Amino acid sequence: MRDFKNPFIYGGRVSGGAFCNREGEIRELLEDIRGRQHVILSSQRRFGKTSLVWKVLEETQTEGIIPVYADLYPISTLGEFIEEYARAIARTLSSYEKAKRLMRELFSRLHLSMGVDPAGNPQWSVGFDRSREAETFDEVVSSLENYLRRKGKYGVVVFDEFQQITETDGEKTERRLRSAIQTHEHVSYLFVGSKRHLLHDLFSNPNRPFYRSGKIFPLEKIASGHLQKFVKKRFNGAGVDIDEKTLGLIVETTECHPYYTQYLCHVLYDIMEKRRIRTDDVPRAIDLLLRRESTAYMNTWDLLTHRQRQVLVALSETGPGDSPFRPEMLRRFNISQPAVMIRAVKSLMDKDLVDRENGQYGIIDLFFKRWIRTSIAMSSQV
C-alpha cells in the first residue's frame, strides 16, 4: 500500500493543497491592492490571516506588484521595527536587483549584509547608528515608495501582527509611520492583526494617528460547504473514505474554525482504522485531543484568579443568545453585582482567552471551552 502522510496541518502558515478556498477574500483583497486601498485585516487568533495574505502576495507578484511581508510579532522596540522592515524590503528587492549596490542606494543610514541561515536560506543582518533611530526609521519607511516611484512600479506591504507597533514607543511611532504612509502613492498597505480590540482601537479611535486610514476587513470563518469539501478532498487524497454525515459532524464540532478543523481531522487521521472515518470516530478523536491538550489547559487554568475561572465556567455553559451574567450564574457564584464579572471578562479578553462577537462574549478556544465544561464545571472545581 502507498505510504500516506497525515494530510492535515495545524499551526503555522498553510499553502497549496492544505489551503482551503478563501476565493472571495482573495479577490477582494487583490482589488483593494490594485486600487491602492489600505486594508486592516483582523480576526481572532488562527483564522488564517497569515496564510491568506501570503496567497494574496503570490498573486500580486504575478501581476508585477512587488510584495513585501514584514512580521512584527517579535518586535517591541523602534530599533527592532527598523531592522525587521529593512530586512523584509531587502529580502524582496534582492530578488529583483543586484542586492549590494541597491541596498547602499536605498539605505544610506543602514548597513545590510547578506549571510545564510543554517538551512541555507539567504538572511539579512542589519546594523545602524542607534543614536539616529528616528531619522533611520524615516529613511526605511520611505525607501520602498522612493524605489517604486523611480521604477514606475507598484508594491504592497503587509505588516503582520501590526498591533505590536504600540509596544515600541506608543503613539510617537504610530504618528511618524502614519504621516509617511499618507504621502505614498506607489504602495498599498495591509495591516494584519489578531488582537482584535487592540487593532480596532488603533484604527477606530479618533484620537489615534491611524484613525480611519484604511478599510476594515474582518476575516470570517470558512463557509461550511467549502470546508466540508476541503476535508473530504484531503481525506480522499490520502486514500481515506469519509461519509457526508461525519463531514457535517466535524464542522459542527469545530464551528467551521479552520485551525480546529485541521486539528480535529489530524487526530481523526491518527486514530482511524481501515482507512475509513465514521461518526463514532469523532467523539473518540475529541477525547484524545482533549487529553493531549490537558496539560496546557491546566497550566492556563492554574494562572487564573478565582473570579476569572468562575467567568470561564459561566461562559462554557452559555449557549447562543444566553447571557453569562444571568441571575442563576450570579447566585451560583455568590456574586451580587454583574459588574464584578464584567471586570473579570475584560481581563480574560486581555489574555486572549475570551472575545466578543456580535455582542456576545465567548471562549475563543473551542476545545478549551469543552475541557472546562467536561473536566472543571462538572467536577465543580471552582
Ligand X SMILES: Nc1ncnc2c1ncn2[C@@H]1O[C@H](COP(=O)(O)OP(=O)(O)OP(=O)(O)O)[C@@H](O)[C@H]1O
CB of 7 to ligand X, least distance (A): 11
Which of 94, 155, 82 is CA-nearest to residue 121?
94
CB of 11 to ligand X, least distance (A): 5
Cα 311 to Cα 32, 329, 351: the distances in Å are 40, 9, 13
Residues 14-53 that bind Mg ion (CB under 5 A): 49-50
For ligand X, the nearest residue by Cβ is 48
Cα of first residue to Cα of last residue in the chain, in angstroms, is 51
State yes or no: residue 19 binds ligand X (CB under 6 A).
yes
- By CB atoms closer than 10 A (0-12, 13-18, 19+), residue 257 is buried
CB of 327 to Mg ion, least distance (A): 40
**Closer to ligand X by Cβ: residue 229 or 343:** 229
The three-point CA angle 147-150-152 to 5° equals: 105
Rounded Cα distance between 302 and 306, Å, is 10
**Closer to ligand X by Cβ: residue 9 or 110:** 9
The three-point CA angle 42-11-85 to 5° equals: 55
Rule CB under 6 A: choose which of 51, 163, 173, 318 binds ligand X. 51
What sign for the dihedral angle of Cα 143, 144, 150, 151? positive
- Using CB distances below 5 to 8 A depending on partner kind, what does residue 258 bind out of Mg ion, ligand X, none? ligand X
- Using CB distances below 5 to 8 A depending on partner kind, what does residue 14 bind out of Mg ion, ligand X, none? ligand X
**Closer to Mg ion by Cβ: residue 50 or 173:** 50
Residues 47-66 that bind Mg ion (CB under 5 A): 49-50
- Percentages helix, strand, coil for the chain (3-state, rounded to 5) are 55, 15, 30
**Closer to Mg ion by Cβ: residue 128 or 162:** 162
Residues 252-281 that bind ligand X (CB under 6 A): 258-259, 262
- Using CB distances below 5 to 8 A depending on partner kind, what does residue 130 bind out of ligand X, Mg ion, none? none
Map grid coordinates 508585477 to a residue. 64
Q: DSSP letter at 273? A: B
Rule CB under 6 A: choose which of 12, 115, 319, 320 binds ligand X. 12
**Closer to ligand X by Cβ: residue 20 or 33:** 20
- Our measurement of the distance from residue 359's CA atom to the centroid of its chain's CA atoms, rounded to an integer in Å, reads 22
The three-point CA angle 67-70-71 to 5° equals: 140
**Closer to ligand X by Cβ: residue 145 or 161:** 161
Cα 216 to Cα 29, 155, 207: the distances in Å are 11, 20, 17
- Using CB distances below 5 to 8 A depending on partner kind, what does residue 221 bind out of ligand X, Mg ion, none? none
State yes or no: residue 333 binds ligand X (CB under 6 A).
no
* Interface characters, 186-225, with ligand X (x: CB under 6 A): --------x-------------------------------
**Closer to ligand X by Cβ: residue 102 or 198:** 198
380 CB-near residues (< 8 Å, 6+ apart) = none
- Using CB distances below 5 to 8 A depending on partner kind, what does residue 9 bind out of Mg ion, ligand X, none? ligand X
Binding site for Mg ion (CB under 5 A): 49-50
Residues that bind ligand X (CB under 6 A): 9-14, 19-20, 22, 43, 45-51, 194, 258-259, 262
